[in-house]
Amino acid sequence: MSTAHAMATGHDSHAAHDPLAPVFAQYPLEVLRGEGVWLIGRDGRRVLDLYGGHAVAALGYGHPAWTKAVNEQTRTLNFQSNAVPLDVRVRAANKLIAFSKLPVKSVFFVNSGAEANENALKMAFTLNPGRTEVVALEQSFHGRTAGAGALTWGAAKKWYGFPRTPFDVKFLPRRDFASLAQITEKTAAVVVEPIQGVGGAFDLGSEYLHALRRRCDETGAVLIFDEVQCGFGRCGEPFAANLYGVLPDMITSAKALGNGFPCSALLMMEKAAAAVKMDALGTTFGAGPIACAAIEATVDAIENEDLLANVRRVSAYIRKTCIVGPVTGHQGAGFLTGLICKTPASQIQKALLTEHNILTGTSGDPNVLRLLPPFILKEPEVDLLAAALARLG
Ligand SMILES: Cc1ncc(COP(=O)(O)O)c(C=O)c1O
């Protein structure tokens, strides 16, 4: 048990031998299983999960159709590589493309958000040979690998770890129109989260994203939307690209995509798709049959249960009912909601969990409490949050 875990859970029975690298602070909560939007702890405690395991559990826990599809796939064929054509792989790609309602021409499946971003960057440099710079935004988070970490705001000082970044990086202030002039003919790619996640559920907005698209067109820079956290239904539309009506050249998707089975996807529009050459990208585990079955089942459940409409309706209800107690406002979109608090969000998060059995998240903004609930959340559960916030004063 890590020191953080021991402190958080209040017991240290395994302190003598902790096999896990001590890199994660731990919630004071030991989860045995989940049901819908509820986590059930070792002590029988039921906790309302408004955080979804960092935005992953799109369908919540124990979703029958998803569980059946993944179980069946484990029985029929657990793995074959991309060298072997698989029906389930083609079905997952086609379903994802149809779900996106965007002119996606090609899908490359990998395993994590950071890996999808690395591959997007590689394609951007392929499209723009000779250019050496990538532009990202302040307060961004794009992952922990060499390329994605280089584009993550503050990583260099805190945890980047590599001796140098693989390309030059320029960070621009978010929603700052004047600074878009810093995107030039030297810029290979611009990578943005249309709604920043770790940055505090901060939405860049349609006007800014349109201006960004225009500047990329003027300079030839490739526009990449990192929708690892905000996309795949979380914003109440298939992707934030749909929500804001701005088409990037590539979109990266992960987290909710497999409802917990590790997977991610690089979605390429025409220009990027046309530049992919045989052997240019690769992966062992990416697009494995279980991952593809998980993706297919997640898309099916979102569509069959009309969950995008649910996200839109229930997120509007959160915004209407939860601006109470310490909460003074909101930002973000859909189920990537930031509740702006007049007291530190970390204190509110702690009180909600320990006093009211509600799990929420914090963010890079100390005053923003971040909600990333499963897409199946309903109004009565939001009422529990509103009541708890009101009691926190
Ligand atoms: C917007 C965004 N991009 C990329 C990542 C990295 O994803 P992963 O941890 O799956 O590599 C995250 C993770 O939080 C994220 O929020």
Distances (CA, A) of 100 to 97, 232, 242, 243: 5, 8, 8, 11
- Which among 138, 99, 122, 114 has a CA at the least distance from the CA of 263? 114
Ligand 1 centroid distance, CA of 227 (Å): 9
Ligand 1 centroid distance, CA of 148 (Å): 9
Question: Ligand 1 atom closest to Cα of 114?
Answer: 11
Question: Beta-carbon neighbour count of residue 85 at 10 Å?
Answer: 8
The pair of three-digit structure tokens given for residue 170, joined into one six-digit string: 């320029």
Nearest CA to ligand 1 atom 8: 113
Q: Mean pLDDT of residues grouped by 10 in the chain (393 residues)?
A: 41 66 92 98 96 98 98 98 98 98 98 98 98 98 98 98 98 98 98 98 98 98 99 98 98 98 98 98 98 99 99 98 98 98 98 98 98 98 98 92
C-alpha 377 chain-centroid distance: 18
Which of 141, 144, 193 to mutate to test ligand 1, by most ligand atoms within 8 A of the CB atom? 141
Which of 142, 257, 362 to mutate to test ligand 1, by most ligand atoms within 8 A of the CB atom? 142
Question: Is the Cβ atom of 226 under 6 angstroms away from ligand 1?
Answer: yes
Ligand 1 centroid distance, CA of 393 (Å): 33
Q: Which residues of 138-159 are buried (b: 16+ CB within 10 A; e: fewer)?
A: ebbbbbebbbbbbbbbebeeee
Query: Quick one: pLDDT at residue 131?
Result: 98
Ligand 1 centroid distance, CA of 67 (Å): 24
Ligand 1 centroid distance, CA of 201 (Å): 14
- Which among 253, 216, 3 has a CA at the least distance from the CA of 104? 253
Question: Is the Cβ atom of 340 under 6 angstroms away from ligand 1?
Answer: no
Query: Quick one: pLDDT at residue 17?
Result: 80
Q: What single-letter amino acid sits at 19? A: P
Query: Quick one: pLDDT at residue 15?
Result: 53
Question: Is the Cβ atom of 143 under 6 angstroms away from ligand 1?
Answer: yes
Query: Quick one: pLDDT at residue 5?
Result: 43
Nearest CA to ligand 1 atom 13: 143
Ligand 1 centroid distance, CA of 229 (Å): 7
DSSP state of 76: H
Ligand 1 centroid distance, CA of 300 (Å): 24
Give the C-alpha separation, 284 to 260, whole Å. Answer: 19
Query: Quick one: pLDDT at residue 16?
Result: 64
Question: Is the Cβ atom of 114 under 6 angstroms away from ligand 1?
Answer: yes
